[in-house]
């Protein structure tokens, strides 16, 4: 464990947990957050020296939990590029990461920490990309992996996950159904469940998106960030990154408005945001081509809603037609092949500009979270 880590904290109740052992959820059944000795980091670490390092997300080691960076699993991580789409709009292309999606960030950290704690059997439920990233990093670290996924997960993800060494079980149901079935087997057979936000370290991996963005934007963040929200780990992680950076005094200016983007066919956060609720009820009969955001219920719901509200952003749902239109337009007109989840953020940005929520020309950032090549392409 990195000596900069002070302790873990329950995200709902604030109770403190020692960081020296493997935890899953807090006793309140909610995510645990890693807290750092930011005062010590502020006085001993230079932001520009970190930013200049190679190694992609592993470069942020002072703000990450592993104690031994010689032993973390590596697959050639690098910073992901910003692509300029014109009119103040940029896209961060996370499809360049190992396994082709930003799930690499979180799973690399979860696997590294599990190994530090002496665990060797990891499992999770997945809509595709998380399973693939777990399989690759677990295999890299010499550990076993087990993935439960909905039977209609994109075929390429299932095949990739198996090929990279995981046992894959296909389930007739949604990702939360997979999670319930998997929990029974995990308990019986001793698998450690690294479901998103149900252990503390995937969030720290996704946090690196916020750190990397701050450095790429010259420590002055864009006005708006559009994030395709399933479990919300990336959105919560970036918001945590921005809070840490602000406390370190490393960023200037106001924080971005966070836009949680969902699909009309699965929009539990949008429904809760519109109703002013603190928690989000399960979305029944979820359906969208954007598999990564087909998440009916999220354990970090209140953290997503809190970040969106604190930032002055919104939760926005877009239609399948809007997703496909943006997907095709960006490819045809800009040569940028997004994943459907990424295309959803473009559709949401268009809507916010059209509705006057965001001024045309303001600096906005879209997340393309996976390579478009992993999906059945629209013809």
Ligand X SMILES: *Cc1c(COP(=O)(O)O)cnc(C)c1O
Q: Hey, which residues between 314 and 353 contact ligand X (CB under 6 A)?
A: 339, 341
- Residue 304 DSSP label: H
Among 90, 101, 139, 216, the residue binding ligand X under the rule CB under 6 A is 101
How many other CB atoms sit within 10 Å of the CB of residue 235? 31
The secondary element (H helix, E strand) that includes residue 90 is strand 89-93
Q: Hey, which residues between 190 and 209 contact ligand X (CB under 6 A)?
A: 196
Q: Where does this chain touch ligand X (CB under 6 A) — which range of 58-66, 211-219, 222-230, 241-249?
A: 222-230
- Residues 278, 305 contacting (CB under 8 angstroms): yes
Considering only CA atoms, give the Rg of the chain: 19
The string of DSSP codes covering 163-199 is HTT-EEEEESS-HHHHHHHHHHHHHHHTPEE--TTSS
How many other CB atoms sit within 10 Å of the CB of residue 278? 10
Strand, coil or helix: 323: helix
Minimum Å gap between C-beta 180 and ligand X is 18
Write each residue from 127 to 166 as x if it is in contact with ligand X (CB under 6 A), else as -, in one continuous string: --x-------------------------------------
Among 179, 210, 232, 313, the residue binding ligand X under the rule CB under 6 A is 232
Minimum Å gap between C-beta 369 and ligand X is 4
How many other CB atoms sit within 10 Å of the CB of residue 181? 14
- Residues 79, 216 contacting (CB under 8 angstroms): yes
Polymer length of the chain? 379
Among 66, 210, 234, 372, the residue binding ligand X under the rule CB under 6 A is 234
Minimum Å gap between C-beta 198 and ligand X is 12
Number of residues in contact with ligand X under rule CB under 6 A = 17
Asked if 233 touches ligand X (CB under 6 A), the answer is: yes
Minimum Å gap between C-beta 341 and ligand X is 3
Q: Where does this chain touch ligand X (CB under 6 A) — which range of 145-153, 216-224, 226-234, 355-363?
A: 226-234
Asked if 261 touches ligand X (CB under 6 A), the answer is: no
End-to-end CA distance of the chain: 49
Sheet holding 32-36, edge to edge: 16-17, 5-10, 32-36
**Cα separation values, 35 from 69, 72, 262, 302, Å:** 19, 20, 29, 19
Query: Alpha-carbon distance 268 to 301, whole Å?
Result: 9
Q: Where does this chain touch ligand X (CB under 6 A) — which range of 60-68, 75-83, 180-188, 229-237?
A: 229-237
Asked if 228 touches ligand X (CB under 6 A), the answer is: yes
Among 222, 231, 268, 313, the residue binding ligand X under the rule CB under 6 A is 231
Among 104, 111, 316, 370, the residue binding ligand X under the rule CB under 6 A is 370
Q: Where does this chain touch ligand X (CB under 6 A) — which range of 23-31, 67-75, 223-231, 243-251?
A: 223-231
Asked if 296 touches ligand X (CB under 6 A), the answer is: no
**Cα separation values, 345 from 136, 206, 354, Å:** 27, 18, 14
The secondary element (H helix, E strand) that includes residue 28 is none
Minimum Å gap between C-beta 56 and ligand X is 18
Nearer to ligand X, 73 or 300 (CB): 300
Residue 37 corresponds to which tokens in the numbers above?
């000795």
How many other CB atoms sit within 10 Å of the CB of residue 307? 24
Among 230, 268, 296, 372, the residue binding ligand X under the rule CB under 6 A is 230
Q: Where does this chain touch ligand X (CB under 6 A) — which range of 32-40, 55-63, 178-186, 227-235?
A: 227-235
- Residues 333, 83 contacting (CB under 8 angstroms): no
Minimum Å gap between C-beta 84 and ligand X is 22
Q: Where does this chain touch ligand X (CB under 6 A) — which range of 55-63, 224-232, 270-278, 310-318?
A: 224-232
By CB atoms closer than 10 A (0-12, 13-18, 19+), residue 223 is middle
Nearer to ligand X, 66 or 230 (CB): 230
- Which residue's CB comes closest to ligand X? 292
Among 103, 115, 207, 240, the residue binding ligand X under the rule CB under 6 A is 103
Where on the chain is the footprint of ligand X (CB under 6 A)? 101, 103, 129, 196, 228-234, 292-293, 339, 341, 369-370
């Amino acid at each position: 464990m990195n000596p900069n880590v002070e302790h873990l904290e329950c995200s709902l109740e604030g109770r403190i947990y020692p960081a020296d052992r493997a935890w899953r959820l807090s006793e309140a059944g909610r995510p645990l957050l890693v807290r750092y000795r930011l005062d010590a980091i502020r006085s001993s670490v230079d932001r520009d020296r970190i930013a200049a390092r190679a190694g992609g997300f592993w470069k942020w080691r002072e703000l990450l939990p592993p104690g031994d960076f010689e032993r973390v699993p590596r697959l050639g991580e690098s910073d992901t590029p910003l692509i300029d789409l014109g009119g103040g709009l940029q896209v961060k292309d996370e499809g360049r990461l190992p396994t082709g999606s930003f799930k690499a960030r979180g799973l690399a950290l979860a696997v590294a920490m599990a190994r530090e704690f002496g665990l060797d059997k990891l499992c999770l439920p997945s809509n595709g990309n998380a399973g693939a990233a777990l399989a690759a990093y677990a295999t890299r670290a010499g550990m076993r992996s087990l993935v439960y996924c909905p039977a209609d997960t994109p075929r390429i993800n299932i095949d990739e996950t198996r090929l990279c060494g995981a046992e894959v079980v296909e389930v007739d149901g949604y990702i939360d159904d997979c999670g319930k079935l998997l929990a029974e087997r995990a308990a019986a057979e001793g698998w450690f469940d690294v479901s998103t936000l149900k252990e503390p370290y995937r969030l720290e991996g996704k946090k690196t998106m916020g750190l990397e963005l701050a450095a790429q934007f010259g420590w002055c963040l864009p006005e708006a960030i559009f994030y395709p929200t399933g479990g919300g780990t990336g959105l919560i992680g970036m918001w945590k990154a921005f809070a840490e950076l602000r406390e370190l005094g490393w960023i200037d200016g106001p924080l971005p408005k966070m836009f949680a983007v969902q699909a009309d066919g699965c929009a539990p956060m949008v429904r809760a945001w519109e109703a002013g609720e603190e928690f989000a009820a399960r979305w029944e009969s979820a359906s969208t081509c954007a598999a990564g955001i087909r998440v009916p219920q999220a354990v970090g719901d209140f953290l997503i809603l809190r970040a969106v509200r604190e930032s002055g952003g919104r939760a926005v749902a877009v239609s399948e037609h809007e997703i496909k239109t943006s997907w095709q337009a960006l490819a045809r007109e800009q040569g940028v092949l997004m994943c459907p989840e990424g295309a959803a953020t473009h559709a949401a940005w268009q809507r916010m500009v059209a509705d006057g929520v965001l001024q045309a020309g303001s600096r906005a950032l879209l997340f393309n979270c996976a390579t478009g090549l992993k999906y059945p392409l629209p013809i």
